[in-house]
Structure 1
Amino acid sequence: MVDLVRKERHFAAGSTWVTPDVIDLTNRQLSELNSYAGRPLEEVRFFRSIGGVDPTTSIVEVVLRGNRRDGVRITGMRAVTECRPPLRGTLFYSPPAGEDSKPVLRFDLDDPAPKAYEVDPETHREVDYFARKSISLEYNETIALRLESRTLKYYCDYRFEMQVVGRGEVVDQIIDDGGQPFKISAIWRKKGYTGDIDYRKYGRLYVGGLANPDMDAPWKPWDPADYERQGL
């Protein structure tokens, strides 16, 4: 049923990452990271290798294939979550400079029971995706779905649970990251969940791209309090 599961980066994340632990990059590691300027795939692999977690929004691309000769129908999908306060280890901060397309299905992980929803193009309201439609797959037919999950409040481990109907039976299909949960963390902010970033919450701070005022290297370590005092 599930042919492919692939994590992707949301354009709004830029090159920003959060780690659970306080990380002091060695000179060699920092040089390696800076060598990946303009090479986003290598940069993503580097951050994931040190435990980097997507900030605020994460995208998972899933390719589904019909595996029954009489067809199957997907009638629901939800995110199964375990959430706690946002991570406070190390913030690698580098905001975006471009745009991207919107995903197909969205999940609000701040909701205690996050179901798949979409934004109605006419009313711009959020509506339960599977309350209005289902996804049917004939035998060997495939479909690619982009699943966007978001949190402004928590650090979450999560999996997707998909309800599949075939031969009159309903089966729950789990979608995860190779047997492990996907991970996402909100960014600490000063006022509510949408104010300025509260850099002092983090044990370490590295700044790159447009956020680096010195512009002498793609990434540079900063003291969180000093960076905040500069009003950057």
Structure 2
Amino acid sequence: MVDRRRLRMRTAFPRTRPVSRPAEPEQRHGLAAWVRSTKVWVGTVVVAVLATLVTNGLLTVPGQLFNSEDAKDRLRQGPDFSVTVDFVHLDDEGRSGVTKDEFRPSAAQESLLARQGSAGTAAYTRLLHSIGAAGLDTLTLRVTLTGHRNQQIDIKDLQPLIVTRTAPLTGTLLCAPSQGDLSTMNMLIDMDRQFPVAHDVKFGGGPGAEGGASVEMGPPFFARRTVTLRDNEQQVLLIRAVTQRHYVAFRLEASYMLGSHEKKTVIDDHGKPFQVTALLSATGKASSYRSVYRLQQDFSMRRIDPHGGGLC
């Protein structure tokens, strides 16, 4: 007979078998392990180097491809630089002028001219300008330049643009000759030359020299230099135009660099050209002026006979 109690115990507690564990992979040793670790180290270094290059590239590329100062200048309104022109009479050139047509003064203008010391006043200078009188033999301009850009402006040339060149004017001569010595200026332009160019100024002779002191042409002004302007910086140029044979009306054209851009602008007398004329007697002309005002000992300006000779 089968022992039922032992059978029940075998059924309730079945006999277990030992579980076999999977075999652990063998660890790599020797050359294979060294190669694997070296690959990991090299990969880490390469990734770090690439990250550095990418980061630096992102920071520096805009500076190489995008000029921030140029962009700022494109947004700024107005001219690259402003120009103010003043007519000045230096000690060596007097305050003489000649009109195209005969000057017929009003009562107020006649009174101004006849006033003692009138030739040395600002009112007389304004009168010359208001009646359109050209400078006699010389014209001196004080040109003040003011920069208005973030980038530096380099003015590399100042070229006269001839509007008219004819025989000297024959209207009214207002003669107030020089009473002083030589004055300092930056540029000298001979308007009798076919292609006038701005030159340096050389002062020859002297008070004790034979013939007295003189102003002479030096080398071309812009041959060895430029005039630079930074933002809000000012430069002042004293420019003298001279003629001994002609009447010349002209403007000045400034050529300059703004960053890498070459540009030009024109300088004139509020839309009108500048004017300078030679004295008639210096050109050997037989014709005389229509009327003449000459400086008196009390520095007033009185009308004289235009055919009397010794006009100025």
* Shared fold (TM-score, shorter chain, > 0.5): yes
Question: Quick one: which of 144, 152, 161 aligns to 1:71?
Answer: 152
Pairwise CA distance, 1:18: 0.8
Partner in structure 1 of residue 275 of structure 2: 183
Distance (Å, rounded) in 2 between the aligned partners of 1:52 and 1:25 = 13
Question: Quick one: which of 291, 294, 299 aligns to 1:204?
Answer: 291
Aligned length: 219
Higher relative contact order (CA 8 A, sep 6+): 1
1:57 aligns with 2:138: yes
Within-5 A mapping of 1:10-159: 10-25=90-105, 28-35=108-115, 37-38=117-118, 39-81=120-162, 82-119=164-201, 126-159=218-251
Cα 1:91–1:121 shift into 2, 3 Å: closer
TM-score, normalised by the number of residues in structure 2: 0.63
Partner in structure 1 of residue 85 of structure 2: 5
Task: Please tell me the residue identity of whatever aligns with 2:158.
Answer: M
Pairwise CA distance, 1:206: 1.7
Note the residue ranges of structure 2 that are not aligned, 5 or more in a row: 1-80, 205-215
Specify the SS of the correspondent of 1:54.
strand
Describe the superposition over 1:140-198 as per-residue Cα deviations: whole angstroms up to 9, x where unpaired: 22111111111111111111111111121211111111111111111112566xxxxx7
Range with greater deviation from structure 2 (132-141 or 27-36): 27-36
- Structure in which a larger fraction of residues adopt strand: 1
Supply the RMSD in Å over aligned alpha carbons: 2.6
Task: Please tell me the residue identity of whatever aligns with 2:172.
Answer: T
Pairwise CA distance, 1:49: 2.3
Describe the superposition over 1:84-116 as per-residue Cα deviations: whole angstroms up to 9, x where unpaired: 111001111222212352210111111121111
Q: Percent identity?
A: 25
Partner in structure 2 of residue 168 of structure 1: 260
Specify the SS of the correspondent of 1:13.
coil
Distance (Å, rounded) in 2 between the aligned partners of 1:121 and 1:60 = 19
Q: Is the 8 A contact 1:6 1:61 kept in 2?
A: yes
Distance (Å, rounded) in 2 between the aligned partners of 1:71 and 1:191 = 45
Computing the radius of gyration over CA atoms, which structure comes out larger, 1 or 2? 2
Task: Please tell me the residue identity of whatever aligns with 2:294.
Answer: V
Pairwise CA distance, 1:47: 2.3
Distance (Å, rounded) in 2 between the aligned partners of 1:47 and 1:36 = 17
Which aligned segments of 4 or more residues in structure 1 are displaced greater than 6 angstroms? none
Pairwise CA distance, 1:76: 0.9
TM-score, normalised by the number of residues in structure 1: 0.83
- Structure in which a larger fraction of residues adopt helix: 2
Describe the superposition over 1:187-228 as per-residue Cα deviations: whole angstroms up to 9, x where unpaired: 112566xxxxx7952111222235xxxx7x822222222x21
Task: Please tell me the residue identity of whatever aligns with 1:184.
Answer: V
Specify the SS of the correspondent of 2:281.
coil
Q: Is the 8 A contact 2:199 2:217 kept in 1?
A: no
Cα 1:184–1:121 shift into 2, 3 Å: closer
Q: Is the 8 A contact 1:23 1:89 kept in 2?
A: yes
Range with greater deviation from structure 2 (64-73 or 10-19): 10-19
Task: Please tell me the residue identity of whatever aligns with 2:201.
Answer: V
Task: Please tell me the residue identity of whatever aligns with 1:218.
Answer: S
